A and B are shown apart, each in its own frame.
Chain A
């Protein structure tokens, strides 16, 4: 059974701070890793994906992947109240079309 684990939170950070969201996965054959943002009552929106060990940056977002330790993280710099949402981690096994989702971490950015 493939598992993707996230702390449910809520993670509360002040405006302007760095928010750090973490995700661990059980399947060593996983090849692709995704972060989604989901606002309350809305559908998930893909923020970033990463394949290779190391960091990938896109604007205020940085995804970090460490395959040896089987974790992937998302850093949000200069957090804004509009970043308040649930962040879902998803993992895709090599050769598969089906991502496995974690349950999400709730992020609250307070002014």
Chain B
């Protein structure tokens, strides 16, 4: 089945730790995105990538890093510099943006 897979579904992090969220797609989409969703805040763009080995910062990139070494994969690292990382993280992909972005199931990150 074609789709976007995020893992893990739930993640707990101790303060001061870096964690990496996985996102894999087999839709052959060029564009991939990472969003953060907080209650009442809507979706906020962290990073996006239009092609392999290229990515751009979104509105709230501070404290996050990404890589795009393969077309299928766009992992997100939440670093210790991110002061308020507890949130619902959504990865999405799109062929060209015009027909819409498709989301993975999301990763719920909690700092303990």
Contact = CB atoms under 8 A, between A and B. Distances in A.
Q: Do A and B bind each other?
A: yes
Given A88-B43, A103-B41, A97 B94 contact: yes
B89 to A, nearest CB: 10
Given A101-B43, A103-B40, A96 B97 contact: yes
Contact of A102 (B42, B58, B96, B104): B42
B42 A99 contact: no
- Which of B31, B42, B48, B99 has the largest number of chain A CB atoms within 10 A? B42
B98 A104 contact: no
- Which of B45, B96, B98 has the largest number of chain A CB atoms within 10 A? B98
Given A42-B106, A45-B103, A97-B48, A103 B42 contact: yes
- Which of B100, B101, B102, B103 has the largest number of chain A CB atoms within 10 A? B100
Contacts of B97: 32, 92, 96-99
20 contacts: A8-B40, A32-B99, A42-B105, A43-B104, A44-B103, A46-B100, A46-B101, A49-B100, A88-B42, A92-B98, A96-B97, A97-B31, A97-B94, A97-B96, A97-B97, A98-B45, A99-B100, A101-B43, A103-B40, A103-B42
Interface in B64-107: 90, 94, 96-106
B88 to A, nearest CB: 8
Interface in B1-59: 31, 33, 35, 40-43, 45, 48, 50, 58
Interface residues of A, number: 22
Interface residues of B, number: 24
Interface of B: 31, 33, 35, 40-43, 45, 48, 50, 58, 90, 94, 96-106
A43 B106 CA distance: 6
A51 to B, nearest CB: 8
Contacts of B106: 42-43
Contact of B101 (A42, A99, A103): A99
A80 interface: no
Contacts of A34: 100-101
